Amino acid sequence: MSSELEMLTRNLCKRATISQEELNNITSKFERQEIDKNQFLLKGDRSCNAIYYVYRGCCKSYIFDQSGKERVIMFAFADWWITDIDSFTNNHTSKINIQSTAEAIIYKLTKENFNHLISNFPSFETAFRNMMQYSYIREQRRSLELITDDAPTRYLNLTGRYPNIEQDASQKDIASYLGITPEFLSTLKKKLLTEERS
């Protein structure tokens, strides 16, 4: 088994007990893709028909607000999953765009193959359910941070959790995710750097 698939299997096995035979069958349903920076995995006028596991690189999901401004909802770093779960589950047109922010290697699981795995491998269903619970918790914490924490705290929390984010994503995307302008983020970073040196 390649090191890439080993990383994927470790991710699944963190969430359920899965035999080696089952893992071989499960991973055979994933399609490996090498994608360029800024390549789309999903555009917001189409139905989402796949779930993606990020082996290397980074992807973002975002929408456009009423003024046409891009609003980043989440990042998916290495060893993360990304999709529009609402569109994927309910078969309606997505409002979300999913795009790489850097060159990346991803593993694509189509809806057809996902349904096959859910139907035939209870261990995969358990892993996926646990994954969705974790994702819900993470997004709930992010929503609370946006309400309760100031911008410096949100920035420090983000960079503390994901130290390589500034190599994987642009300042514009990071600012959008934090709910601030790129100009404010630049000022904030200079201020924090000055405080660190003093």
Torsion over CA: 142, 148, 151, 156 (sign) = negative
Same domain, 123 and 154: no
Residue 69 three-state SS? coil
Of the three residues 81, 111, 135, the one that is the final residue of a domain is 135
Same domain, 166 and 78: no
Contact 44, 64 (CB under 8 A): yes
Same domain, 11 and 66: yes
Chain-wide mean pLDDT for the chain? 93
The model's pTM: 0.92
Of the three residues 135, 158, 180, the one that is the final residue of a domain is 135
Same domain, 105 and 153: no
Same domain, 111 and 44: yes
With respect to residue 178, please indicate whether it lies within any of the assigned structural domains: yes
Of the three residues 135, 157, 187, the one that is the final residue of a domain is 135
**Neighbouring C-beta atoms of residue 23, cutoff 10 Å:** 21
Residue 194 confidence (pLDDT) above 90: no
With respect to residue 86, please indicate whether it lies within any of the assigned structural domains: yes
pLDDT at 2: 74
pLDDT at 1: 55
State which residues form the domain around 160: 149-198
**Neighbouring C-beta atoms of residue 154, cutoff 10 Å:** 19
Identify the helix (H) or strand (E) that includes residue 133.
Answer: helix 122-148
What is the tally of structural domains in the chain?
2
Same domain, 28 and 94: yes
CATH number of the domain that residue 47 is part of: 2.60.120.10
Same domain, 195 and 127: no
Torsion over CA: 86, 91, 95, 97 (sign) = positive
With respect to residue 141, please indicate whether it lies within any of the assigned structural domains: no
104-110, strands of its sheet edge to edge = 31-35, 104-110, 50-56, 80-82
Amino acid at site 95: K
**Residue listed under structure tokens 């060159």:** 103
pLDDT at 33: 97
With respect to residue 143, please indicate whether it lies within any of the assigned structural domains: no
Q: Which residues, 6 or more positions from 161, have their beta carbon under 8 angstroms from its beta carbon? A: none
**Neighbouring C-beta atoms of residue 30, cutoff 10 Å:** 20
Same domain, 39 and 119: yes
pLDDT tens digits for range 2-37: 778 899 999 999 999 999 999 999 999 999 999 999
Same domain, 21 and 102: yes
With respect to residue 64, please indicate whether it lies within any of the assigned structural domains: yes
Detail the DSSP E strand segments found in the chain: 31-35, 40-42, 50-56, 59-64, 70-76, 80-82, 97-100, 104-110
* Separation between Cα atoms, residue 31 and residue 108, nearest integer Å: 5
Same domain, 8 and 98: yes
